[in-house]
Copies of this chain bind each other. A is one copy, B any other.
Amino acid sequence: MAVYTSVSDDKLAAFLSDYSLGKAVSFKGIAEGVENSNYYLETDKGRFILTLFERRADPKDLPYFMAVKQHLAKKDFPCPEPIEGKDGVVLRELEGRPAVIVSFLDGLSPNRPNTAQCRALGENLARMHQALQDFTMERRNTLGPASWPVLWKGRSATAEDLQPGLSALIESDLDATAKARAQSPDLPRGTIHADLFPDNAFFIGDEFSGVIDFYFACTDALAYDIAVCLNAWAFEDGSEYNFSKGAALLAGYESVRPLEPSERDVLPTLCRGAALRFFMTRLVDWTDTPPDALVRPKNPLDYSARLAFHRKAVSASDYGYGA
């Protein structure tokens, strides 16, 4: 969590002259997001976030991410809305980096989401899926099932170092999810967030106030987004599944968009797959992050503990579906 690129006041003033936002009255680097530089920006016209995209963001994906947020904002789904310059252009350049100004979203990210927040998250995940139903752009999920064996390659020793016996378990997860995928029917697809962790959701008290950080958004099975959220919202202290929270999240989702039988049946496999995806990227970060790095990598074992739960789950009701 850091600001990687500093912006001089001259450059900021020049940048703002391309917008109809008036002049800056406040500008502070904020420690939000690990991949980009974000600034709190206040002008005569209100509060905004200025984002500079750093190395890890693929510039060719940025128009898609902007379009997702613009589409959601147009449908009144609360998210950071990209602000157009006087020329109608949203993605510009500042200090040699792609840059965008988005609207400021009120709310706080819950450290330990409660049951009411899990329910609200489920409801709004479904609303987001519905709002994106007529969004026509597509993006492949670059961290989908095909990527997992690639990420895994050559890392079984690292997994064994973390927890003896883990390597064989992960192999079995890869096999099982691949087999299940081959057999499962086509699931309803659409635009998903794919990374809706509690730090990417805002609440005021228990009231949902918006979603941020769409930089993993892609076209994939809608129910996979639910599986990501169950992993991210309903496990406590790294490993314990909180049945009430999971049930609340699923009930919230269903209150807006009821799951189809095919989605319900495949939920344990999707949860296992989502846990694998985060296990794999954390394992890569764990190995590749130098010990003196600014950002401490997250422990992959949080996700091997989740995988242990998913391996035993046999149906959606094990997650609180219909409870």
Is A21 at the interface (CB under 8 A from chain B)?
A: no
Q: Which of A28-36, A119-127, A244-252, A314-322 has 4 or more CB atoms under 8 Å from chain B? A: A28-36
Interface residues of A in 98-115 (CB under 8 A from B): 104, 106-112
**Interface residues, chain A, CB within 8 Å of chain B?**
1-3, 8-10, 12, 23-32, 40, 42, 104, 106-112, 204-205, 292, 294
Q: What is the total number of copies of this protein in its complex?
A: 2
Whole-angstrom distance from the CB of A200 to the nearest CB of chain B? 14
Residue of B nearest to A198 (CB): B9
Residue of B nearest to A29 (CB): B31
Q: Residue A112 contacts which of B10, B25, B106 (CB distance < 8 angstroms)?
A: B10
Q: Among A1, A25, A26, A294, which residue has the most Cβ atoms of chain B within 10 A?
A: A26
Closest 10 CB pairs of A and B: A292-B292, A29-B31, A8-B111, A3-B31, A25-B106, A28-B30, A27-B108, A30-B30, A9-B111, A25-B204
A108–B2 touching, CB < 8 Å: no
User: How distant is the Cα of A147 from the Cα of B182 in the complex, in angstroms?
Assistant: 74
Whole-angstrom distance from the CB of A159 to the nearest CB of chain B? 27
Chain B contacts of A205 at CB under 8 A? 23
Whole-angstrom distance from the CB of A244 to the nearest CB of chain B? 18
Residue of B nearest to A11 (CB): B111
